[in-house]
Amino acid sequence: MSRFPGELLRAGIFISCFVFVLSSSRNVNYTPSNLTHLTDLFPHRTFAQGFSEFFGGPNIQLTNNGSYVNLMLNKSSGSGFVSRDRYKYGFFSTAIKLPSGYTSGVVVAFYMSNADNFPHTHDEIDFELLGHEKRKEWILQTNLYGNGSTGTGREEKFRLWFDPTEEFHQYSIIWNDYHIVFLVDNIPVREVNHSQAISSIYPSKAMSVYATIWDGSQWATHGGKYPVNYKFEPFVASFGEMEMEGCILDPTTSVASCPESGLSIDPVQGEAFAKLSQQQNMGMEWARKRFMFYSYCKDAARFKVLPPECNGAK
């Protein structure tokens, strides 16, 4: 495992200022200035260095010596790949370029799960990108499960401040004992603190990392109103700049092997990853105020009694 450079730990993840720039393709574009990217702290993995086929083999194409992976959805199948290791916690990231054009019902996902080992009490941390119809834009959904099923999710939905089909954008997850953070291009969009209120559903069991594209016709676009139209196939999502850094569980001994740093602090459990900086909180507030349009904590129709962690939610 790589070591965490001392100078990067000192520099941390501080952002000196934030600049708002109008964009012709979106209502607003957000440009952090002088940013030390979390995604620069760890090495990129090729497919051969950490992944294997999950499903849909003929629809998986490796490019650039396996540094990038194209996943395809057509009438025959979706496709996906999975990490060879399971992690107890860590930092996980990939850059994704999404299919353009009519993509209703299409789901592109980057997530962590242990549903194969715990089908009825699984943990999961999700980025799900939901396709669109006509001129509507892709939707970003974040979600998590702990010791539960799909009925116990904690979903939030966002519009993006860029066109995710024009170029690659980074989607990253921090998962440790302190919090779960979802980041887009290194800007936090959601933080789930590991508090007593959420402890019963906080993901705690070792998980694998997945990347998939699949048919979500029944729910993905306006609750299933617009299914996948295979007249527009194939739908191709490209993944690259893949990073996985964390505590690996040995499947034979159930003993975890965790990374170390020059300061004898596990970097993904260390200070730089334990709490968001003031600048990161500013970025998260910007993203949530401008682009979040659904939170389970505001869904009184779904929950007669809101989950306990929703008390005080903004």
* Residues carrying an active site annotation: 124, 128
Q: Which of 128, 123, 175 is nearest to 150 (CA)?
A: 123
Task: Say if residues 133 and 102 touch (Cβ distance below 8 Å).
Answer: yes
- State CA 155 to chain mean position distance: 13
Cα of 59 vs its chain's centroid, Å: 22
| Per-residue buried b or exposed e for 194-204, using 16+ beta carbons within 10 Å of the residue's own CB | beeebeebbbb
Cα distance between residue 146 and residue 204, in whole Å: 7
Report the alpha-carbon distance of residue 89 to residue 273 in Å, rounded: 12
Task: Give burial (CB, 10 Å; 0-12/13-18/19+) of 55.
Answer: middle
